[in-house]
Amino acid sequence: MSLTVLGLSGALSHDPSAALYIDGELIAAAEEERFIRDKHAKNQMPYHAATFCMNFAGISPDDIDVVAFPFAKVGLSSKDRWHFAKRYWYAPDRALDALFNGNRHYRRNVERVRELLDRLDIDWDKIEFEPVAHHLAHASSAYHLSGFKEKTAILGIDGKGEYATTFFGYGEQGEIHKIKEFYDPDSLGQLYASFTEYLGFDMLDGEYKVMGMAPYGDASRFDLSPLVSFDGSEISVNTELVNTVGVRRYKEDGKGYYFSQKLIDWLGPRRQGDVADDPYVHYAAAIQKLYEDISLALIERYLKDILLETGKLVFAGGGALNVKLNQKILQLPYVDELFVQPAASDAGTAVGAASYATWKRGVMPQKMEHVYLGPSYSNEECVKACEEHEGHPKFEQIDDVPKRVAELLAAGNPVAWCQGRMEFGPRALGGRSILGSPSSKGIANKINEQIKFRERWRPFCPSILDTVAADMIQTDHPAPFMTITFEVSESWRERVPEVVHEDGSSRVQIVSKATNPKYYALLKEMEALTGNGAVLNTSLNRRGEPMVCSPTDALNMFFGSDLEFLILEDILVTKPDGQ
């Protein structure tokens, strides 16, 4: 008997997404932001994403057996609610609400899910509704999709779910076991996010920028340990400084932040603008080091015994997108293989809720081999988009796309590459990418300044052939999803300087022919032309926008930048003469 499970995320009012499992196979997954063109799609539910998933699979609303959602009830006797109430004593309205109305958020989520299902014509009375605890959904998205058969250590770090913020556990024979959790406000993820706000970036979006800024600073210049106390087993965030609510929040122009006036009094005014300057660059280095040091110590405390058995670790939650931490984790002597769920943030909980519901019903989810899970478009649809676009692009269908694009790249041109199914998750992996030759001097600055319009100091990453990976990053560890940074060998640093960061590392994507044959063919052509089987690869979007989804989105981005070449499937697009 067939089992069809629709996973929906959006429990925490950001990053809604949908994922569809049929008999253990992840058929489709997509983020709502891509369809409505609103980054993070705050306060939305994944109507368009869910509609896409069902249409792609060719199923009707009546075919859905289970709807899974990554948010569950928390009992009054649980540690979660009492810990929250105790730690938020200074905001009694919140503390009392946790004790006397602690599932208010859950009830509101269920109402929103029911409203969404009505819009999707899915009959609530004919489906099973599976509420999955938020961190259990994160854990399932990593463990059940890793393909690991051995006993596996599980790590989850994010802002918070219902009340939990950090998860340590293990998976064995499909079962997920919890070892330890921390609860709000004692959250490493929220600590990093709060400090991201202090450094002048938006929470949920700027954490990558803090991580990218950190290598330019000196972590020893400032001691940020007063932000959190850590005794080797427990953490306690200093809510007089960060992770603040209510009256403790620093306010500026009517907006409240997750840090306090006391933090300003200690470290100085909140950073403004785009420049990576003193002292903020050193603060970035210090918060990154604090986050790494405590995370690594907690892994040692709670997961080392399991890791000594098998060496397998999986990681999810927004904190798992910190690729520098992931590099340090992989360097631990008892970690042999690290699987980071590529859509590790809350968008990935749609997959996790669905994978958990699938496993719970006796069907083991398949290993995640790729994230090309979104929409794709035919040449005919691409031509139609070009014909209808107000920019009046010039376009032609070409025969050997990899060869032609490699020639453009080798000549020093950036190229927008829109091919096949859109990626699920935050990384462009050769579906919706802006590409450049990593040996072309200045290409990174050109893309930053003229196309992406983002901060000059942010790094770019490479996609590389599987045949050169071991030589370039000096390991045979899998890296298909750009979730881990690796040290780049000296010889390759000289060959591809545009994709090596300040600290000598690179967040590589190792490309295999089986998962993306056209992208692999492009890399082979680049190897033939330049001697390097690599391209600079960044997401096809401008600053503040979601990644491109459709050909029309790509054309809008193309005409809103200084890009000169856009590939839509087999269609080469250029601008009219004079533009």
| pLDDT higher than threshold 90 for residue 205 | no
Model pLDDT for residues 343-386, shown as the tens digit of each residue: 999 999 999 999 999 999 999 999 999 999 999 999 999 999 99
pTM of the model: 0.97
Structurally, the chain folds into a number of domains equal to 3
| Residue 457 domain boundaries | 379-574
207 in Cβ contact with 193 (< 8 Å): yes
| pLDDT higher than threshold 80 for residue 538 | yes
- Both 280 and 245 in a single domain? yes
| pLDDT higher than threshold 90 for residue 455 | no
Strands (DSSP E) found in 268-378: 312-316, 337-340
pLDDT band at 291, cuts 50/70/90?
Answer: very high
- Both 438 and 527 in a single domain? yes
Which of residues 451 and 309 earns the better pLDDT score? 309
Report if residue 371 sits inside a domain. no
Give the C-alpha separation, 67 to 50, whole Å.
Answer: 11
pLDDT of amino acid 292? 98
- Both 356 and 388 in a single domain? no
pLDDT band at 578, cuts 50/70/90?
Answer: low
CA nearest 462: which of 503, 434, 490, 425? Answer: 434
- Both 464 and 414 in a single domain? yes
Q: Which of 275-279, 309-313, 565-569 has the lowest mean pLDDT?
A: 275-279
Q: Distance between alpha carbon 131 and the CA centroid of its chain, in Å?
A: 23
CA nearest 98: which of 119, 83, 116, 114? Answer: 83
Q: Which of 206-210, 302-306, 338-342 has the lowest mean pLDDT?
A: 206-210
- Both 331 and 346 in a single domain? no
pLDDT of amino acid 210? 94
Tell me the Cα Rg of the chain. 23
Instruction: Show Cβ contacts of residue 332 under 8 Å, excluding neighbours closer than 6 positions.
Output: 296, 299, 300, 307
Find the catalytic residue in 14, 48, 134, 138: 14
Report if residue 160 sits inside a domain. no
How many residues does the structure list for the chain? 579
- Both 199 and 336 in a single domain? yes
Give the C-alpha separation, 220 to 216, whole Å.
Answer: 12
pLDDT of amino acid 425? 97
% the chain with pLDDT above 90: 94
pLDDT of amino acid 204? 86
What number of other Cβ atoms are within 10 A of residue 374's Cβ? 25
pLDDT of amino acid 282? 97
Instruction: Show Cβ contacts of residue 114 under 8 Å, excluding neighbours closer than 6 positions.
Output: 124
- For the question of residue 14 being annotated catalytic, the response is yes
pLDDT of amino acid 101? 96
Report if residue 368 sits inside a domain. no
Residue 242: give its domain's CATH number: 3.30.420.40
250 in Cβ contact with 256 (< 8 Å): yes
Residue 478: give its domain's CATH number: 3.90.870.20
Question: Average pLDDT over the chain, rounded to whole?
Answer: 96
Mean pLDDT of all residues in 334-351 = 98
The token pair at 541 is 């979007």
- Both 446 and 385 in a single domain? yes
pLDDT band at 314, cuts 50/70/90?
Answer: very high
Q: Which of 128-142, 265-279, 511-525 has the lowest mean pLDDT?
A: 265-279
- Both 326 and 356 in a single domain? no
Report if residue 169 sits inside a domain. no
| pLDDT higher than threshold 80 for residue 439 | yes
210 in Cβ contact with 284 (< 8 Å): yes
| pLDDT higher than threshold 90 for residue 276 | no
| pLDDT higher than threshold 90 for residue 227 | yes
- Both 352 and 398 in a single domain? no
- Both 519 and 389 in a single domain? yes
Report if residue 373 sits inside a domain. no
Model pLDDT for residues 80-133, shown as the tens digit of each residue: 999 999 999 999 999 999 999 999 999 999 999 999 999 999 999 999 999 999
- Both 356 and 406 in a single domain? no
- Both 81 and 203 in a single domain? no
Instruction: Show Cβ contacts of residue 208 under 8 Å, excluding neighbours closer than 6 positions.
Output: 321, 458
Report if residue 179 sits inside a domain. no
Distance in Å from the first CA to the final CA of the chain = 58
Give the C-alpha separation, 294 to 301, whole Å.
Answer: 10
Buried b (16+ CB within 10 A) or exposed e, 492-518: bbebbebbbbeeebbbbbbbbeeebeb
Report if residue 178 sits inside a domain. no
Tell me how many degrees the CA angle 158-258-132 measures, rounded to the nearest 5. 30
Q: Which of 134-138, 210-214, 430-434 has the lowest mean pLDDT?
A: 210-214
What number of other Cβ atoms are within 10 A of residue 190's Cβ? 22
Q: Distance between alpha carbon 288 and the CA centroid of its chain, in Å?
A: 18
Report if residue 408 sits inside a domain. yes
